[in-house]
Amino acid sequence: MSGATRPGLRAWLLAEEPTSRAQARAAAWYQGWLKLRANTLAMIGLAILILLTVCAILAPWLATHDPFAQDLAQRLKPPGWEGHIFGTDSLGRDIYSRLLHGARISLYIVLLVALVAPALGLLIGTVAGYAGGWIDVLLMRLTDIFLAFPRLILALAFVAALGAGIENAVLAISLTAWPPYARIARAETLTIRNSDFIHAIRLQGAGPARIVTRHVWPLCVSSLVIRVTLDMAGIILTAAGLGFLGLGAQPPSPEWGAMISEGRKYLLDHWWVATIPGIAIFTVSLAFNLLGDGLRDVFDPKESAR
């Protein structure tokens, strides 16, 4: 993205007077990127996330063992034991290989939640904000109800109702995570709704559905993206928490939270079984926090000035 930028493109992006809307928008993003690049911590976060993605994609090639292959004779061996970089777990499976394959699950969960929850929030928030009246009252009351719920318990209840598993965990997390997005989207919609350009579009005969989808949604997206990045760490931690309670990914799947849960039994004598996946979760959610912090500094100057 950065290194391949040709001089011509760079000049186009940094043009003082953009000639099209697309160029203006691209230029704004590019300038944001330049600012973000100056933020060391955010770049570290980004680097970790890229590394995670690479690991997830190349897991089958990077792994030294089959993540599911058991060897009951070689169980609970310490890190470094005969080619097991991080040792083996209680069924003699290679922890390093499981960790790599687990990265896929974490990424999968994060991507799915990042798609579902903001989409749901966006839909509810913009409809409430644009329609107003009793629809607004009703939808916002619903939002309040979901906000008042103990979140982990709500997610637990959903998973218990839907059955344990990754997809259901994603759905449960999304169902508990949407209310803040709905509030943001509604607030943005309220300001956009009464702006001149929307009035103009309305006069041209555009229907509400078209206005919301074509003109309101694109403007809400940037604030949602920042919020989602900041929430990512929380999503990973919640997913791991569900896995820890046995309600997320199911065995023998190498989900990190589930790996900690399996390893806690051996904590006293075989510390690495639970510690290594714990460090993995910590690293990834720290990376998301660093990146999210940087993004907020760039795109929300008011907050960052504080």
Partner 1 sequence: MTDEPACPAPSRRRPRLPRWTRKLAGTLASVAATLLGLLFVTFMIGRVMPIDPVLAVIGERATQEQYEQTYRELGLDRPLLAQFGIYVSDVLRGDLGVSIRTGKPVSEDLARVFPATFELATLGTLIGVLLGVPLGVAAAVWRGGWVDQTARVVGLIGYSMPIFWLGLMGLLVFYGMLGWVSGPGRIGIFHQGVVEPRTGLLLLDALLQGQWAAFKSALSHIILPAGLLGYYSMAYVSRMTRSFMLEQLSAEYVTTARVKGLSEWQVVWGHAFRNIRVQLLTVIALAYANLLEGSVLTEIIFAWPGIGSYITTSLLANDMNSVLGGTVLVGTIFVLLNILSDMLYRFLDPRAR
Partner 2 sequence: MKIRAGFIAAAIAALTAAAPLAPASAETPPNMLVIANRIDDIKTFDPAESFEFAGADVSRNVYEKLVNFDPLNLDAGFGPQLAESWEISADGRTITFRIAEGHRFSTGREVTARDAEFSLRRAVILNKTPSFILTQFGFTPENVEQTIVATDDRTLRLTLDKPYALSFVLNCLTATVGGIVDREEAMAHEVDGDMGNAWLRTNTAGSGPYKVVAWKPNESVLMDLNPHYHGPRPAMERVIVQHIQESATQRLLLSRGDIDVARNLSPEDVAGLRDDPDVKVVDELRGRLMYWSANQKNPLLSDPKVVEALKWATDYDGMANSFLKGQYTVHQAFLPLTFLGALDEKPWRFDMDKARAALAESAHPDCGPIRISVRDAQERIDIAQSLQNTWSQLGCQVELIVGTGAQTLDRYRAREHDVYLGAWGPDYPDPHTNAGTFAFNPDNSDEARLTGLLAWRNAWAVPAGMNEKTLAAVVENDTDKRRAMYLELQREHQRISPFGIMFQKIEQNAMRANVNNFVAGGATTAVSYWVVTK
Which of the choices partner 1, partner 2, none does residue 272 contact, using the CB cut-off of 5 to 8 A by kind? none
Q: Which stretch binds partner 2 (CB under 8 A): 21-29, 78-86, 227-235, 263-271?
A: 263-271
The token duo for 273 is 């079984």
To the nearest 10°, report the CA torsion of 280, 177, 104, 157.
Answer: 90
Count the residues in the chain.
306
Q: Are 105 and 253 in contact (CB under 8 A)?
A: yes
CB of 256 to partner 2, least distance (A): 17
Binding partner of residue 68 among partner 1, partner 2, none, CB under 5 to 8 Å per kind? partner 2
Report how far residue 109's alpha carbon sits from residue 218's, in angstroms, rounded to the nearest whole number: 24
Nearer to partner 1, 41 or 62 (CB): 41
CA atoms within 13 A on the CB side of 65: 21
Restricted to residues 241-300, the positions that interact with partner 1 (CB under 8 A) are 241, 244-245, 257, 260, 264, 267-268, 271, 274-275, 278, 281-282, 285-286, 288-290, 293
- How far apart CA 79 and CA 46 sit, in angstroms, is 28
Q: How many helices (H) and strands (E) does the chain have?
A: 13, 0
Residue span 146-185 as binding mask against partner 2, x where in contact by CB under 8 A, dash where not: --------------x--xx---------------------
**Taking CB under 8 A as the rule, does residue 275 contact partner 2?**
no
Q: Considering the rule CB under 8 A, would residue 271 count as an interface residue with partner 2?
A: no
Residue 238 structure tokens: 């919640």
Q: Determine the 3-state secondary structure of 250 from DSSP.
A: coil
Report 47-86 residues binding partner 2 (CB under 8 A): 68-70, 72-73, 75-76
Residues that bind partner 2 (CB under 8 A): 68-70, 72-73, 75-76, 90-92, 160, 163-164, 246, 250-252, 262, 264-270
